[in-house]
């Protein structure tokens, strides 16, 4: 009875953001101790900060005007996310262990999320406009997958972290695009029907056109990433976490690259773009 919900004031939010910019996400205790923010966050606990930060993440798209989120067909209790597998995009099929019969049985409810895969997919598919990092990526993923609240906020918190740490950009920079065929722009003739060939041991099924498009987009991204910096990118120096996350993502990128290469062999090279991983 005593505890009603205390709405966060704008001042508190600002203090929180400033705190995160200064100490980094996850350092809730430090933030709350810091005399610079302490008084403003006087009646908030470190857990409150964490929760609020999470909510801010889930809240990403409020300023964008359009879009809110997918109408939500209502997700069932046992699947937090439901891949819609469209036929023109990158389809991520994780199948590492005989595995992951998602939404098949009421059993493992938490084997589905592949944050990095989704983020990577979004990165590859989105045309990069300024500031598209967060909102656009979230939107992309929500459009493509049915996302439930719990999953969304989880994803957004991960994504937010990546963005804050500049990891997203780092990942992008690890790709180098090289055009094998010079001259004619080769605007990626969309040839459909090349895909739908499942790779034997790879965990990714991708269509050739998608890769080409992704590569093209990536080139732009890289160029822009050089000169672009995100709000609080300078705030974080946790190289441990950065490299850990980068590793994760790298693994995925690696798979993607291998899958493509393999496809390429079988299918002969129909594209003029080669993606090579720079380590």
Partner DNA sequence: GTAGGGTTAGAG
Partner DNA sequence: CTCTAACCCTAC
CB of 176 to DNA, least distance (A): 31
Strands 145-147 and 81-83: antiparallel
CB of 195 to DNA, least distance (A): 31
Footprint on this chain of DNA (rule: CB under 7 A) = 3-8, 25-30, 46-48, 50-52, 54-55, 58-59, 62, 68-69, 71-72, 74, 110, 149-150, 154, 157-158
CB of 41 to DNA, least distance (A): 11
Strands 175-179 and 91-92: unpaired
In the complex with DNA, the residue whose CB is nearer, 10 or 278, is 10
In the complex with DNA, the residue whose CB is nearer, 11 or 226, is 11
CB of 201 to DNA, least distance (A): 29
In the complex with DNA, the residue whose CB is nearer, 4 or 130, is 4
In the complex with DNA, the residue whose CB is nearer, 162 or 214, is 162
Q: Which CB contacts under 8 angstroms, 24+ apart, belong to 124-130?
A: 124/90, 124/210, 124/213, 124/214, 124/217, 124/218, 125/89, 125/90, 125/210, 125/213, 125/214, 125/217, 126/217, 127/217, 127/220, 128/217, 128/220, 128/221, 128/224, 130/228
In the complex with DNA, the residue whose CB is nearer, 152 or 216, is 152
Tokens 């498009």 belong to which residue? 213
CB of 93 to DNA, least distance (A): 21
Which among 253, 260, 255 has a CA at the least distance from the CA of 274?
Answer: 260
How far CA 97 is from CA of 11, 100, 163, 193, 203, in Å, comes to 49, 7, 31, 28, 10
């Amino acid at each position: 009875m005593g505890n009603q919900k205390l709405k966060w004031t704008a001042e508190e939010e600002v203090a929180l953001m400033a705190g995160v910019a200064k100490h980094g996400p996850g350092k809730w205790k430090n933030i709350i101790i810091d005399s610079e923010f302490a008084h403003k966050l006087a009646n908030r606990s470190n857990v409150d900060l964490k929760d609020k930060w999470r909510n801010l993440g889930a809240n990403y798209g409020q300023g964008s005007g359009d879009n809110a989120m997918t109408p939500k067909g209502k997700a069932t209790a046992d699947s937090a996310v439901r891949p819609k597998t469209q036929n023109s995009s990158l389809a991520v099929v994780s199948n590492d262990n005989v595995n992951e019969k998602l939404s098949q049985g009421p059993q493992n409810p938490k084997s589905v999320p592949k944050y990095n895969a989704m983020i990577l997919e979004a990165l590859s598919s989105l045309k990069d406009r300024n500031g598209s990092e967060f909102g656009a990526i979230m939107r992309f993923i929500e459009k493509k997958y049915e996302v439930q609240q719990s999953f969304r906020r989880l994803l957004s918190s991960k994504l937010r972290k990546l963005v804050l740490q500049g990891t997203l950009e780092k990942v992008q920079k690890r790709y180098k695009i090289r055009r094998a065929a010079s001259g004619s722009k080769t605007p990626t003739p969309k040839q459909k029907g090349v895909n739908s060939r499942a790779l034997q041991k790879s965990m990714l099924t991708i269509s050739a056109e998608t890769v080409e498009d992704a590569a093209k987009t990536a080139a732009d991204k890289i160029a822009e990433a050089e000169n672009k910096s995100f709000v609080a990118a300078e705030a974080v120096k946790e190289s441990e976490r950065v490299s850990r996350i980068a590793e994760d993502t790298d693994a995925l990128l690696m798979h993607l690259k291998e899958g493509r290469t393999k496809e390429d062999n079988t299918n002969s090279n129909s594209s003029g773009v080669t993606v090579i991983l720079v380590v």
